[in-house]
Every structure is written in C-alpha cells, then in structure tokens.
Amino acid sequence: MAEYLSPGVYVEEFESGAQPLEGASTSTAGFIGLAQRGAVEGLPQLVTSIAEFQRVFGSYLSENAFGSYRFLAYAVDQFFTNGGSRCYVMRVAPSDAKPASNTTPESAVLAFTAKNPGAWGNQIRIGIVPSSKAKTQIYEVLGTPGESKRYRVKNNAGFNPGDVVAFDDGTGKQYNRILSSQDNLIELESPLAGEADVVDNQLLPSKVLTTSEFTIHIFSGDEIETFEKLSLNVSAANHVDKILARSGIVTAQDLSQGTAGEAIAPFTVISGLPEESGKYDVIFGGGSDGSLANLSAGDFMGEDRGPGKRTGIQAFIDNDVVSIMAVPGVTDPNVQLALVAHCENLGSRFAILDIPREKTKVADVMTHRNIFDSSYCAMYNPWLQVFDPLDKRNIFIPPSGTVAGIYSRSDQTRGVQKAPANEVLRGVVGLEVQYNKGEQDILNPAGVNLIRHFTGQGTRVWGARTCSSNGLWKYVNVRRLFIFLEESIKNGTNWVVFEPNNDQLWARVQRTIDAFLTRVWRDGALLGNSASEAFYINIGRETMTQDDIDNGRLVCVIGVAPVKPAEFVIFRITQKTGSE
C-alpha cells in the first residue's frame, strides 16, 4: 500500500475492468524434413517466404539422391503458394552426414568447419587478407638505447597486451609482441632494432608502429560474410574464435599456440606467406549429405537432449507459436504416430498426415487410416501433380504442405471456424488418382479427406474430418476452434496468476472471457441467436471449493457451442399438384 507522508494531492492508477484478450494465431505451420543445409538441432527456423527457405535450407532435392524423403522444399513452396504466410522448419539429416572443413595447410592453425552437415559446405570459400586495427608513431625511447623495450607513443589505443605489432621504418618491417600498454606507454617483448632511428615526431610520420591482424571473407553461394581485423591473441576481444561465433556459415577454432614463440604476423602464421602476398584462399571439403540407408524413423522423431539441443519433432517442444504440423512425404507410421502424440500432448497444434503414395486402392488406404484414432490429426489423399523447378517437369508430391497452406488461407480469410474444405488448390495441375463418389462414400465416414477434381471448378479439398472415432470431434474446424479458444484464453489470462483469489478477481476474469467469447460469437464461430445461447462462463463459489482456494486454484468452467460444417446439403423436392 502506498505511503502518504506529507500533505498534498496524490494521483494513482489502478486496474478494475476487463483485460483485453487477443486471439491466438492458428495459421503458423511447422515442417520437418530433409534439406540441403540448415541446423539439425536446436530451435526451428522461422521462414516467411520460399526465397528465405532457400537461403537458409537450400534448394530442391533430387529424386536420385533423396528418394521419397525429398519433399520438404516442395511442401514449403506449396504452403506459401496456397496462402501461408509464415512457418517454422526443422531440418533432419542422416546419421552419417558430415560437415565440410578446411583441408588445406592452414588447418593446423585455424580449423574451419561448416555450420551444419551436408555437401553444401564443400562450396564454401574463405579469403584471408592482412589488416590492422591501429597504428601510431613512437615519440620517445624510455631507458637505455639498444636495451630498452619501453616506448612512449602518440596513442596506445587499440594496442593490447599479447598483440603482434609491426614496426615499419619505410625500408622493411620487424615484428614484436606487446607485453603491456597503458597511458601511451607500450612495452614490447624485445627491443626494436636500430632504436636510435625509431623515433618519429613528424606531422606525417614515415615510421609507424601498427598492430597486425587479418580479415576473413566467407563466401557460400550468394551469401557473403566479412569479419574484419581478427587476431590470434586469445585474450583480445577480437580473437578469431569469439568473432566467428557470429557467423551463420562456419565455425572456427584457433589451434595456434597463442602468445608463445616468436612474434610472427598472424597472416603468416595461418598461411605461411608474407603479408606482402596480399591474400590467401581456404578450400573446403569432406562434407557429405549422408546416405538414405542411415536415415531412420528415429531421425524424424528426434531426441530430447535438453533445451537448445532437441532434434526432429522434439525440437518443436520449445516452440509455442506453431499450430499446424506436418512431416511431408514421410508416411512411416512410427513417425506419424509420434507427430500425433506430440500434438495431443501439447494440445495446441494439429497434425496433417499423408498417405503412402503406393496406397491408392480403397482397402489399402483404409489399412493405413486404421492405425490412427485422434482428433488432433487429419489425413489427406491422393498425391498432387505440380511442376518441379529442379527437373523441369511435372512430379507428384504429398498433399500435406498444400493443405497446410489452405488451412492458413482459410483462417485468415474466413476464420478458424470455417472448415478448410471446398477450397481450390493453387499450383496443382493434376492428381495421381481420381476418386469417384462411390469410393468417397467409403473413405469419408472413416475420416480420409479426399482431394478431387471437378469439371469447371478446379481441384478442391473435399473433406473436413479428423481421424477421431469420437463423433464430438469428427470435424477439423471444431477441434481447431477449441485449440484457438484454449490458447487464446491461456495466453490472455497470465495476468491472473498470483492475484488475490477473491470476488473482485473472479468478476474481472469473467468480464475478460465474456468480452472475448462475445467477439468470437459475433464473428460467427459459435451457434446461437444471442451470446447466452452461444456460451456460458461459471466462476466463483459454484466452481471452487474451499480446498481449491486454500491450495491456490482458480477454477473457471466455460461451455461453448461450436458451429459445424454443412457437410451434407439436402434439398427435399416434391411435386406440387394443381389442387394444392
């Protein structure tokens, strides 16, 4: 409580009304699959366009090298083509994939390694050139000439203990190492030769003392990184290990002996060439994409190695933004079941599953469908024919990426309450299999959503069912609407935690949720002619016991009436007779 110690007028702010509650995003997708490059552990990478995907993860993969596991890039491309705006991507790589590294002689001093595994790293090129971060002139030799190692300079800024320096008198360079540098006084490791001639008080000096560093230029495709004025001095802020930690292309490890031994220019230590040579090129090799024989379901399922070290599906545990998940083209039941379990455990996302390409007959499709029973996933078939920019021909790809884009598009244009069906597929020129109405009569009740072609109407998603046997959750939009409501309420009521659990708080919580659900009802997501018919909110003594209150629990019971799609449109027509 505020203290009032002197007479006066005090103005105070306090919150008493409902807190604004913002709806959670439902249109952000998460994809897992093989790519040319990219991190294989840690946090999934945000991608907002196919161009950005190609910068981070590389281009399309060839069928000969990657077979049926190559569809990540195509799925992301289709996601954006069909209306998606942002997604997170996690790369998977075979266990025998290796990062490229420098194989030329400088590797004994600086060990460069590509940031992540793959043959892409073999194309990395590094150029090293000499540079200097500071120079000054010597004003005075302190001590006995010929023996003293201490010098008064014009400005010692940038000269750090352990740095290699070069003294240039116009006829040649001699290298030394700094022992101490303070108050414009520099002490070197050994006296400079010809100390009587090192002093230069001219306005435009001809004799200068300079630090000796090197600059690294890193090239990978269209990417260029430049790190200037690096040092092999371990104690310096510009030590190569510290600065190259910011690189998105390579990692570096200094294997030199630090400040030990003879003072030699870092460029010469690395390359074996004098600084006058101007440039040294580093060549990479040894990078490998691995083999499909070493790729297993476990690589996609991932491992939980702790925060920042998770792989595969497990990497998305650290991501609380994604609401749609897919592993494009990977139809191994172990992987798909792991993805569904991930979505069920978190309760905040929905999985889109592909059916194996070879399973086109109704009986075969049903065999794969019967593996699953969950309201947190939906299954789509058949595969789609699209243009392949890599091979310059039409190929068939799994539908999950395209459908994820349709989910996102439908959410943004109509809302999550609209079933993501009867929507046109963009960028799709054909279907691998054209199912008829009789076949869909069997597959639709079982929860297999077909993609069909209709004359004059293009190719459309023609189903909106989950893989659940529970009739309450058989529609995709109902489950995703509840995910939206639950996440919105959870995210928008964090302010309630640790507040006094009393009538005033209960009233504020009720007003907050009531305002949010009223807006959702007006947007057409809930049934009813009035808000009271669409939802109810119970909070207070009728939902909490004294034991709940004593143990710090606030219990709020909410009931909503979701809208459901008009899946079967029935017009009953009869003949009107003259006597009627």
In tens, the pLDDT along 122-164 reads 999 999 999 999 889 888 888 766 667 888 888 888 898 988 9
Amino acid identity, position 262:
E
Does one domain contain both 188 and 252?
A: no
50 within a domain of the structure (yes/no): yes
Q: How many helices and strands in the chain, by DSSP H and E?
A: 14, 27
**Tokens standing for 516?**
């949010």
What is the tens place of the pLDDT at every residue in 404-448? 999 999 999 999 999 999 999 999 999 999 999 999 999 999 999
Query: CA-CA distance, 294 to 34, in Å (whole number)?
Result: 13
C-alpha closest to that of 35 among 55, 64, 74, 61: 61
Distance CA 153, CA 199 (A): 9
N- to C-terminal Cα distance for the chain?
Answer: 80
Q: Tell me which residue has tokens 């990426």.
A: 401
Across 369-375, average pLDDT: 95
Query: Which of 14-28, 65-79, 115-129, 539-553 comes out lowest in average pLDDT?
Result: 14-28
**537 domain residue, yes or no:** yes
* pTM for the full predicted model: 0.88
- How high is the pLDDT of residue 193? 76
In a domain, 6, yes or no: no
- Tell me, what's the pLDDT at 15? 77
Helices 72-81/50-57 angle, 10° precision: 160
Q: Does residue 125 sit in the same domain as residue 143?
A: no
- Specify the CATH number for the domain of residue 258: 2.60.40
Dihedral sign, CA of 220, 226, 232, 238? negative
Query: Does residue 18 fall inside a structural domain?
Result: no
Same domain, 412 and 341: yes
Residue 575 lies in a domain: yes
Over 80: is that where the pLDDT of 464 sits? yes
In percent, how much of the chain has pLDDT > 90? 66
Residue 461 has pLDDT above 70, yes or no: yes
Beta strands 138-142; 110-114: pairing state: unpaired
Would you say residue 23 lies in a domain? no
Assess whether 299 and 395 both reside in one domain. yes
The domain total for the chain is: 4
429, 469: one domain: yes
Torsional sign, CA 371, 375, 377, 378: positive
Residue tagged 């949010």 (tokens): 516
Last residue of a domain, one of 211, 242, 259: 211
492 inside domain: no
pLDDT in tens, 386-404: 999 988 999 999 999 999 9
Q: What is the pLDDT of residues 500-525, one digit of tens each?
A: 999 999 999 999 999 999 999 999 99
- The answer to whether residues 126 and 244 belong to one domain is yes
Residue 181 lies in a domain: yes
Three-class secondary structure assignment of 31-44: EEEECCCCCCCCCC
Same domain as 256, residue 323: no
Residues 253 and 125 in one domain: yes
Residue 62 pLDDT class (50, 70, 90 cuts): confident
Phi and psi torsions of 54, nearest 5°: -70, -30
Q: Which residue, 257, 285, 313, sits at the end of a domain?
A: 285
Residue 261 has a CB neighbour count (10 Å cut-off) of 10
The answer to whether residues 299 and 442 belong to one domain is: yes
CA 314 – CA 310 distance, rounded (Å): 6
Containing structural domain, residue 301: 29-95+295-478
Instruction: Report d(CA 184, CA 179) in Å as an integer.
Output: 13
Q: What is the pLDDT of residue 538?
A: 94
Last residue of some domain: 478, 509, 535?
478
Residues 232 and 365 in one domain: no
Task: Examine the pLDDT at 580 and tell me if it is beyond 60.
Answer: no
Residues 203 and 232 in one domain: no
Residues 230 and 195 in one domain: no
Looking at residue 572, what is its pLDDT? 86
Q: In the prediction, which pLDDT does 202 show?
A: 79
